[in-house]
Homo-oligomer: A and B are copies of this chain.
């Protein structure tokens, strides 16, 4: 149970017959050390199994070589079978691995969790912070930025903070989806909107509104929160209020999936009676019945690019204030 005493720089130096400073140089890849000495040091390192103590290094360099990925969400929602958060995590993890940095994952659904994240990040225990999915007008990103801590948000901050952010082309994707419905002859197009305290929910709804309005069509809205349960409830609500609807755009695939089922239970055929389009293109979308037409967003890429942006910021580079990734309409059988 008790680990052997861990070798330090000092031990390696003695073994190699040089000074601590020289060992440090070799370990950190300085080129100003004579080759034979480098070799001797490397051998001593190998023999002793020396591994640098990160804490000590951090203390002097002021860098932690780790970045925080903050998900201000109930853990329950972060890991539903919505693929959004896992996708972002995956993209971030890949990019950080390439940069040899650690990913510290912080869930902050509760107020206490949020406070904990605030303490940790303002305490500079990480070199940068990537926020996924902000709710409402969270002041934390701006606060961190003001402290000089590199921050990138996923989605435009709702409080108008001047924090660099990354997002997908929400409005463009929604517009293409609704236009596809219109072009295929649908005239009574409803939407199941996402939560209106999140920028993704807001923008997808306004994209719908603008497009149906531009076509002179009526607007029919029910609001959900991206989950299946909320999608089913919203679909029932829409059917009750507008029994003659002939198409539905749902702001998430999960809600679209639930709508598919709810429509069938109500005796409507998809796509004959009602066309359905979702948003996300999660893996399940290809396996629904019928397979779901949807707006694909490059979610892993979002995590990757966001992380890359953050790393550049942390490296002291100037970065663009926003980076928007394209979306794409994937046409399957539901519309």
A residues near B, CB below 8 A? 1-4, 6, 49, 51-56, 58-59, 64, 66, 75-76, 78-81, 83, 85-87, 89-90, 93-94, 97, 100, 102-107, 113, 116, 119-120, 122-125, 147-149, 228, 257-258, 261, 282-284, 287, 289, 316
Residues of chain B with a CB closer than 8 A to A6's CB: 124
Residues of chain B with a CB closer than 8 A to A113's CB: 97
B97 in contact with A116 (CB, 8 Å): yes
Q: A56-B59, A86-B86 are in contact. Are A94 and B123 (CB under 8 A)?
A: no
B81 in contact with A284 (CB, 8 Å): yes
Q: A1-B148, A107-B97 are in contact. Are A59 and B51 (CB under 8 A)?
A: no
Distance of A55 Cα from B316 Cα, bound (Å): 22
Residues of chain B with a CB closer than 8 A to A54's CB: 55, 123, 125
Across chains A and B, which 6 residue pairs bring their CB atoms closest together, nearest first? A3-B148, A51-B123, A79-B86, A55-B58, A81-B283, A55-B59
Distance of A103 Cα from B86 Cα, bound (Å): 15
For the complex formed by this chain, how many copies does it contain in all?
Answer: 2
In angstroms, how far is the closest chain B Cβ from the Cβ of A110? 9
For A1, A56, A76, the residue with the greatest tally of chain B CB atoms inside 10 Å of its CB is A1
Distance of A289 Cα from B287 Cα, bound (Å): 10
A228 partner, pick from B66, B86, B147, B287, beta carbons under 8 A? B287
Distance of A316 Cα from B2 Cα, bound (Å): 10
For A55, A97, A148, the residue with the greatest tally of chain B CB atoms inside 10 Å of its CB is A55
Q: A148: nearest residue on chain B (CB-CB)?
A: B3
In angstroms, how far is the closest chain B Cβ from the Cβ of A6? 6
A83 in contact with B83 (CB, 8 Å): no
A90 in contact with B78 (CB, 8 Å): yes
A148 in contact with B81 (CB, 8 Å): no
In angstroms, how far is the closest chain B Cβ from the Cβ of A269? 14
A51 partner, pick from B66, B122, B261, beta carbons under 8 A? B122
In angstroms, how far is the closest chain B Cβ from the Cβ of A50? 9
In angstroms, how far is the closest chain B Cβ from the Cβ of A321? 14
In angstroms, how far is the closest chain B Cβ from the Cβ of A10? 15
Distance of A261 Cα from B122 Cα, bound (Å): 50
A147 in contact with B4 (CB, 8 Å): yes
In angstroms, how far is the closest chain B Cβ from the Cβ of A287? 6
18 of the cross-chain contacts (CB-CB < 8 Å) are: A4-B148, A52-B123, A53-B59, A54-B55, A54-B125, A55-B56, A55-B58, A76-B90, A78-B90, A79-B83, A81-B282, A86-B86, A93-B105, A94-B107, A97-B113, A97-B116, A102-B104, A104-B104
In angstroms, how far is the closest chain B Cβ from the Cβ of A299? 10
Distance of A97 Cα from B114 Cα, bound (Å): 11
Q: A117: nearest residue on chain B (CB-CB)?
A: B97
Q: A54: nearest residue on chain B (CB-CB)?
A: B125
Distance of A258 Cα from B104 Cα, bound (Å): 35
B147 in contact with A3 (CB, 8 Å): yes
